[in-house]
Amino acid sequence: MWLWRVVRIVTTVAALTAAAYWTVEAVLRTPLLSIRRFTIVGNRRLSPGDVEELVAGMLGQSILKVDLDQYREQLLDSPWIASANLRRVLPSVIEIGIVERVPMAIARLNQHLYVIDNTGIIIGEFGPRYREDDLPVVDGLVRTSTERLPAVESDGVDMVVRLFDDLGPAEGLRQRVSQIDVSDLRDVVVLLEDDPTLVHLGDSRFADHLKTYLELAPTLREQLREVDSVDMRFDARVYARSKGRTPAPAATTGKPVKGARKK
């Protein structure tokens, strides 16, 4: 009698376990819980179709069994996506939230141009889709590489970020910068829109130096013909050079030097 009771209990437990297993399997396999569509938030550059294409393999899978981490990694393979989050919305929707990279500048290597963000990640080669961004061209960021995409110098990227952070509070100043050269990290050189003069800003106080140049620029053009470059790194004096000439003192930071030699 005791043995019979044990057998009956074991049989009942086994039957209940099997029933639960098949019930769970039936729930997991039911078409009602199959992934049918996505909702996408956070995309601006990428179209919904671009994002859906990266995770198209999810469609038709059980929403309870799908490996969200796997498809998150597939989203991060896109150079446009900085971070991604996926969430199940029962019974059949996956919500995808992404944070896109923001183009910061155009890095130049010889004849090739690459759009980068503020971490130095190459988003892609420069093309028509980026023209509306009005990004400055930066030299000295990219070195040659045997990889599919060139490597970007992190120190140069950090210097460009510092430059932009310093110029940012000054209204319209950052937008006037059209080209930047960070080949020498001790001396950032910029070109402004509609101004062919190379402006040497040093490695700090970029906004102060650039504002001073803009104040002195009309006087410098009166004193010197075809100003090729201006060195703003020295607080007490500004050095200007005409094309093909040696740099010479042209003005103090607050007052033009009378009778300065024209070079």
Mean pLDDT by 10 residues, the chain (263 residues): 71 67 56 90 93 95 94 95 96 96 92 92 87 90 71 93 94 94 96 95 95 92 86 87 63 42 36
Q: Would you state the pLDDT for residue 263?
A: 36
Residue 124 has a CB neighbour count (10 Å cut-off) of: 14
Query: Which overall architecture, per CATH, does domain 105-251 show?
Result: 3-Layer(aba) Sandwich (3.40)
Q: Would you state the pLDDT for residue 255?
A: 41
The two tokens of residue 236 are 């007490």
What phi and psi values does residue 30 have, to the nearest 5 degrees? -65, 135
The two tokens of residue 6 are 């044990």
Q: Would you state the pLDDT for residue 175?
A: 93
Superfamily designation of domain 30-100 = membrane protein fhac (3.10.20.310)
Strands (DSSP E) contained in 110-226 are: 112-116, 122-125, 137-139, 142-143, 151-152, 177-181, 189-192, 195-200
Domain limits of the chain?
30-100, 105-251
What is the spatial distance between Cα 86 and Cα 105, in angstroms, rounded to a whole number?
30
pTM of the model: 0.77
Residue 200 has a CB neighbour count (10 Å cut-off) of: 21
